[in-house]
Structure 1
């Protein structure tokens, strides 16, 4: 487990890097990078305040309450709430989702890399190579793995801007129903919220901090910076593309490492840990499944956030989360509770309907 000093910088740096790479992975699916619509970006930023911030508080509050990582915590949290053990399924949904998302990242990396190499390799072969590399790199200590991820993300961003990659001009369009779904997916799913990643990386600091805000705001601000940075990024040129592929492989390795740690703390046999991880990644090697799997990924991620919101807002005891949040003002807690009980569930359901409608 990371010490407090390491956790202080680890979580926000990880939030920026993971959000940037995961946003870049899902952006083509929702058509963001092709057409820079200013109204959509403002909507996206709005969801970062309205939805991402409350669920970031939710994740850290559950970490403070449980004092352990997400998958292991659900047993304690459901007992504390006198709730059905069936609520624990959200922990398993999240822990399997993480390597599944890693597979999506590696699939995108293979499609980005394919035009940049001189010799002819199929996307499936590149994917397999990248997956083996990511699995091997997942054994590197986390601080070094995160440093390499950061190096790749920063290099990709700088190279994209230095090389003067042309992007379409910002412009206004009319708001469409599907845009709410896309904005919600990018704010929640592509930021890794609800997966227990920041819960896991901030745990040692959270245990010693009286208020959740100390851990939440740096993570959320880092995610917000990633959203803004993505507006000025493209992988069209060769060097930014290669740098992004490097960052993507490091990100996949980091996601695999985080998954393995949660499964190990659940005391699963090593063979079962690897079966779960490898199977979740390997399904992406099936040809022509990217669009279907990315839609599944978006709906799956929204479902995880929805279950956590309903569990924390309606099932857990009020006194437990109020103490874990540590807000200085009761008004802030009441606003957060309204957001988690009403705004988040309704927004996620509407977003899921929009995603399904867009895929049909």
Structure 2
């Protein structure tokens, strides 16, 4: 059967793409420790510039490779390297992206449990009884993984997320109208920001570069459309919450982490499907591995190690993004990249090519240098 693209379906896809980008960006901010403490205005220009000149071309590069290969991640990179007569070593990006995505899933699930615990304790103004139980964070982490990944089989429609988005918008609006910042009544110490010097690096990773979340997955899975109204609410709530410390940003981060889990899992699900596993066994494998690793991480390491692993993830994403930029900018054939990108003009393609070859790698290296104190 031939599929027909209608203006309505195109608008839904555009809306879903925009909100997915917001979800990825908010999850990266959660890993970076910029949630709950407020984003300093002095950091925003550096972050915005880095997002435009690095995150944008990197996202397009990842999408170009995905569109060109039309295969799951591992098989796709094998096809691309053969097509470009490139060395087999470039396939490293496929395996590295997969395992970085696994770490991202584990951290996202654990942070979802932490943020939800903080939000529940703060909203109920209580840390006694079951709210202070050592099992609360692990239980909410497990719940987050199930709720996030069940969308894969259509058991939790994305439109149902309109309610928590509206709740989040209401909390933000209340905070603004009453000039009140909601306190975080929790013994859990939220991560502190890593400073303006790392804003370049964080901005470059806002698109999720290096995690391969834009790589195509199983074609038989029908994407679930997002309500455009929910998209607008989520976008406005994010912009408001980033300006405020406290509960509003924590609620937003919890919702973003829940929604992010499926995006992170899809490359793994596609690879398992390509290896012959059916939908339910593949989903079971991902559920068991992610929940097991998340619980081990929380019980054996705690919040401090969680913060350290978050920094490891950001640096890992940076390495993957550098490899991605070099491959897309210098190894991939120009005609293949141009056709896969399908940009509106030759000028736009030339701007992207300059950005992916020079601007994005330099921005990433400058961000890492500032992070470790070399700049």
CA distance in 1, matches of 2:91, 2:180: 47
Q: Alignment RMSD, CA only?
A: 3.8
Counterpart of 2:98 in structure 1 is 95
Whether 1:340 aligns to 2:356 is yes
User: Is the contact made by 1:19 and 1:223 (CA closer than 8 Å) also made in structure 2?
Assistant: no
Determine the structure 1 residue equivalent to 2:186.
Answer: none
- CA displacement 1:58-79 (0-9 Å, x = unmatched): 1222222112343432111111
Distance 1:103 1:324, change over 3 A: same
Determine if the alignment matches structure 1 residue 56 to structure 2 residue 59.
yes
| Preserved CA contact (<8 Å) 1:15 1:191 | yes
Q: 1:152 aligned to 2:138? A: no
2:141 is matched with 131
Offset of 1:200 from its aligned partner? 3.2
Per-residue Cα deviation, 1:75-98 (whole angstroms, up to 9, x for no partner): 111111111222222122222222
Give the CA deviation at 1:232: 3.1
Counterpart residue number, 1:297: 313
Q: What residue number does 2:294 align with?
A: 281
2:84 corresponds to which residue?
Answer: 81
Q: What are the residue-to-residue correspondences of 1:228-267 with 2, within 5 Å?
A: 228-236=239-247, 241=250, 243-244=251-252, 247-248=255-256, 250-251=258-259, 253-255=261-263, 257-267=265-275
What count of residue pairs does the alignment treat as equivalent?
325
1:323 shift after superposition: 1.9
Moved more, 334-343 or 228-237: 228-237
Gaps of 5+ in 1: 169-176, 205-220
The more displaced of 300-309 and 82-91 is 82-91
Deviates more, 1:142-151 or 1:300-309: 142-151
User: Which 5+ residue runs of structure 2 have no aligned equivalent?
Assistant: 183-193, 221-231
Secondary structure in 1 matching 2:99: helix
Q: Deviations over 1:202-259 (max 9, x none)?
A: 989xxxxxxxxxxxxxxxx99997874443344437xx75x44752563254246424
For the structure 1 residues 248 and 317, does the alpha-carbon distance in structure 2 shift closer, same or farther, using more than 3 Å as the test? Answer: closer
Alpha carbons of structure 1 residues 231 and 251: separation in structure 2 relative to 1, 3 Å:
same
Could you tell me whether the CA contact under 8 Å between 1:61 and 1:325 is conserved in 2? yes
Change (3 A) 1:245 1:348: closer
What is the deviation of 1:335? 1.8
> Is contact 2:24–2:260 with CA below 8 Å preserved after alignment?
no
Q: Does 2:24 correspond to 1:25?
A: no
8 Å CA contact 2:84–2:331 kept in 1: the answer is yes
CA contact (8 A) 1:152 1:247 kept: yes
> Any conservation in 2 of the 1:194–1:308 contact (CA below 8 Å)?
yes
